[in-house]
Amino acid sequence: MKLLRNLLVGVSLCSFHLQAEAQHGIAMHGDMKYGKEFKHFDVVNPTAPQGGEYRMGLVGTFDSVNPFITKGKAAAGVRELTIDGLLKRSPDEPFSLYGLIAESVDVALDRSWVIYTLNPKAKWHDGKPITVNDVKFSLEIQRDRGNPSRKLFFVKVDTVEILNDKQIKFTFKKIDGQYDAEMPLIIGLMAILPEHYFKTVDFEKTGLTPILGSGPYKISEIDPGRKIVYQKVDNYWAKDLPVNKGIYNFDQVRFEYFGNTTVAFEAFKSGEIDLWEETDPSAWIKEYDFHAIQDGRVSKVEIPHRHQVGMNAFAFNIRNPLFVDEKVRRALAYVFDFEWLNKNIYYGTLTRTLSFFDNTELASKGLPQGEELALLEKYKEKLPNAVFTEEYKLPTTDGSGNIREHLRQAKRLLAEAGWVTKDGKLLNEKTGKPFEFEILLNSPANEKVALAFSRNLGLLGVKANVRTVDSAQYENRRVNKDYDMIISFWGHTLSPGSEQKYYWSSLAADAPGTRNYPGIKSPAIDALCDDVTAARSRKDLITAIRALDRSLLAHHLIIPIGHRSKDYIAYWNKLEHPTFGPDGIPNFTMWWMKTKENEGSQTK
């Protein structure tokens, strides 16, 4: 394995075993794109004008500005804008990190430990320096009192040693005989919190009191549940670092919260918010003819893409006895008529999603072969036989709405699972109880999909009640896994890793706040998540992810919906942006405000 390349110039600590030379960043696999003398990321405008206010609209509410605990719903932007980490992620690589609070880093070749050397210029907003004690404190407070999902990662830290006033060493535990290769990067991304601040503030009861940060912005205004405003820090210590050039160009960033999508979109049309990414293709076709588009004040852009699309799907909660039997889950999938929905609601703009990693090289296809098959064979006795014998496919229709054949297939599977139809109702043949459940939603935008599905379920004698609740109630029920079925989205990067345990492990099945929404507990899935984190090359990662993907799909935990092959974005022309390309819409922190001097300079 090649020496890992890390943060700026550093001194090699020869007393440590299996170490790499201190450098300016870490790549999860292979080499980093940017050398130690890089000036800025390629995808930004390093000379972007500074100033102005960016206003974003969100649907929902918030009652907290502490994103590190489960209590409350945290406001958008707190972690990203006000609190720095040791390292910062590159926007145009699968998973590479570069120096921020840490100016250099040493990593053991076997990933058993990592040493961070802090930048002597790093400081908190109150002017005090960021210390190695702050870094140690950050790990301990988030591991012991933070969101349970963080514990899945931070418990892998065996020891934390303060080597001197600028260097701190994390040594990791072996899990099943090996080190998690991602842990040096996970720690690098960890939010660094001020120890001195929390000596007088209860970490778990911060509520709407802003946490002392070190990032490019401070919270300047809070209207609970409705608005949060961030003001750029004039003397931000890291503004001239290569990782920040061309980023954080606005003087103010404002997040406005709205009760529903309709109200938020009206706010965009009237100019109260600056940018709108449309997720509903039918709305894109029907609702973008307002005056500001007609007279050129708002740009409407379609961007064909090749980036990851994630998985948007109905998720069964298999903690509910109704959904324990896989045959039941497969039966209900037969009456979800994607083709009709796509034709009549989405104007044929969606593509059916067939993988948790669709539209990327990570997606499983066909039957397993080669190294993927060899990996899956290790867990053959604990996986569904379909993993090895059946290509994952979904029932399809001609889009006419005629699903008679699908109803027959569904009723056959339900009968095999012990369900019978009497007087138009589906009943359990042993208990006589009807098949009834709730589809819980947090957005009216999903109602048309859920209601169409519910109508078809009614043809089976199943009563599916569609219920839309406010964001606070939905979040509480989601965190505590208190639902029968939800529409959920699982996103991912191009370098999946330890977060897959947070999504799919047995440990995550019962932990509050995790994303194992279906509640699957499978030793084979657990092992495959370990294989993902153990991958030492890009090739091994792709093999492990495809095997995990295939195994999850074979359990029929979800009913996939679909994804867009284009990104849809509209924005007021006072904004300018980096080049739009097929890899995704640039993050708003890379945009800037148009001025008379640079008017017309943006690249579209």
Helix (H) or strand (E) holding 158: strand 157-162
On the question of pLDDT at 46 being above 90, the answer is yes
**pLDDT at position 177:** 78
**pLDDT at position 97:** 96
pLDDT, tens digit, for every residue of 150-168? 777 898 999 999 999 999 9
Q: What whole-number distance in Å separates Cα of residue 272 and Cα of residue 56?
A: 9
**pLDDT at position 152:** 74
On the question of pLDDT at 19 being above 80, the answer is no
What lies within 8 Å, CB to CB, of 201 at 6+ separation is: 209, 211
- Chain mean pLDDT for the chain: 91
**pLDDT at position 4:** 33
What average pLDDT does range 412-430 have in this prediction?
96
What lies within 8 Å, CB to CB, of 519 at 6+ separation is: 317, 318, 319, 481, 509, 510
**pLDDT at position 513:** 83
On the question of pLDDT at 262 being above 50, the answer is yes
What lies within 8 Å, CB to CB, of 423 at 6+ separation is: none
C-alpha dihedral (531, 536, 539, 545), degrees to nearest 10:
30
What lies within 8 Å, CB to CB, of 587 at 6+ separation is: 91
On the question of pLDDT at 196 being above 90, the answer is yes
What average pLDDT does range 487-510 have in this prediction?
91
The pair of structure tokens assigned to 155 is 């418990």
Select the more confidently predicted residue: 23 or 242. 242
DSSP assignment of 512-566: TT-S--S----HHHHHHHHHHHH--SHHHHHHHHHHHHHHHHHTT-EEE-EEESE
Task: Show the domains of the chain with their CATH numbers.
Answer: 25-42+63-205 (3.40.190.10), 311-402+436-445+469-564 (3.10.105.10)
pTM higher than 0.85, yes or no? no
**H helices within 202-325, ranges in order?**
261-269, 281-286, 291-294
DSSP assignment of 117-147: EE-TT-B-TTSPBP-HHHHHHHHHHHHHHS-
On the question of pLDDT at 505 being above 60, the answer is yes
Of 72, 47, 51, give the one whose Cα is nearest residue 61: 72
Helix (H, G, I), strand (E, B) or coil at 328: helix
